[in-house]
Amino acid sequence: MGMCLSRSSGPVKKRQSKRLTNQSAAAVNGGGSNRWSRNRSSKRDDSIIQERALAAAILLQQQMQNGGGGGAVPFDRSASLRYPNSNSKKNPPLPRSSSSRARSLTDPLLQPHQLVNQEVKVDDLETNHFVLVHGGGFGAWCWYKTIALLEEAGFKVTAVDLTGSGIHSFDTNSIASLSQYVQPLTDFLEKLADGEKVILVGHDFGGACISFAMELHSLKVSKAVFVAAAMLTSGQSALDMFSQKTDSNDLMRQSQIFIYANGNDKPPTAIDLDKSLLRDLLFNHSPAKDVALASVSMRPIPFSPVLEKLCLTDSKYGSVRRFYIETTEDNAIPIALQQNLISNNPPEQVFHLKGADHSPFFSKPQGLHRILVDISRIPST
């Protein structure tokens, strides 16, 4: 069903990545803090981030319309470290970075100045504008914690609702193509000023969506970040990706509810997810309040875009620097499948988010934030 976006260019070539290994980071709160005081303040800190993030969610639409964002904020040293490995072989593994740090497992609040290098200012970066693209069934609402953290750190953030998602009013069952589904994103990129670039962040099926957008608007994308996402090769569809799953796809199959808006004798028009299985499938390490938010906010996933095969070229899609964030406790796109995607279409660098379920913006918001900031700081090649 897919359409080639550029007929004159050849298929995407695989890139070789430099070898780096996982490394646990040091504690970021300084030597004066002890474990007892951090644990005691965990609940209070969690409340603070929930309040701030909730306010950001309420103001999301105004921010999207007014091009929100804050002023530059100085940063402290990041604890997300990457070390080279001298044991290089013919086919070295991809560079990886661990998000682990000595702190509470509840991912308590850390201030932006505790997360990143104090000497690096947002205004000195190649771009300080993140564009967040949700996965299938989600909407811009799912990024509310990430929006709050990035904006507090001085970044400009835009979270889009794809067609028929979030508060976008279009009927999901009427979406006939990937281009139609991704149109809010491509329209946004098209309206950027000449020379303006953004960092695209795609989650889940949003990975296929940002790949589509990268092919159309490669000159407007500085970097692309795939978060537990469908990082597909040319000629592959999201359905092809999920067909690679074996024993681990039982929960996904049980969760799927096909919708036949055009009649049972016609192909499905959308896929819904069984609300009783959402926690186990998507939110197995997420707070209960976020699971409740998702259960009343998620919408069906349009079926036609999932079937559509991407046509990606080396000269366009392949020219954008790509990064992947693995989620180790993911039941929707298990870590083995994520690593298979990485192996088939190697990005520049891979980050390893320990303890994260399929929705790290809920389960590990601080870790996700820190990695995104780290990626924004990687200099141009």
Active site amino acids:
204, 330, 358
What is the number of other CB atoms lying within 10 angstroms of the CB of residue 193?
Answer: 6
Q: Does the CA dihedral 335-338-342-344 come out positive or negative?
A: positive
Q: Which residue from 208, 53, 58, 203 is spatially nearest to 139, judged by alpha carbons?
A: 203
Beta strand 349-353 with 96-98 is parallel
Counted residue by residue, the chain has a size of 381
Classify strands 198-203 and 221-227 as parallel, antiparallel or unpaired.
Answer: parallel
Task: Name residue, tokens 């079926």.
Answer: 303
Instruction: Give burial (CB, 10 Å; 0-12/13-18/19+) of 249.
Output: middle
Taking the C-alpha atoms of residue 80 and residue 377, their distance in angstroms, rounded to an integer, is: 12
CA distance 26 to 130: 27
SS3 of residue 44 by DSSP = helix
Question: Where do the H-state alpha helices sit in the chain?
Answer: 35-40, 42-58, 60-66, 112-115, 144-152, 178-190, 206-216, 238-242, 250-255, 278-282, 288-297, 303-307, 335-344, 360-363, 365-377
254-271: b or e for each residue (b if 16 or more CB lie within 10 Å)? Answer: ebbeebeeeeeeeebbbb
Query: Is 319:294 a contact under the CB 8 Å cutoff?
Result: no
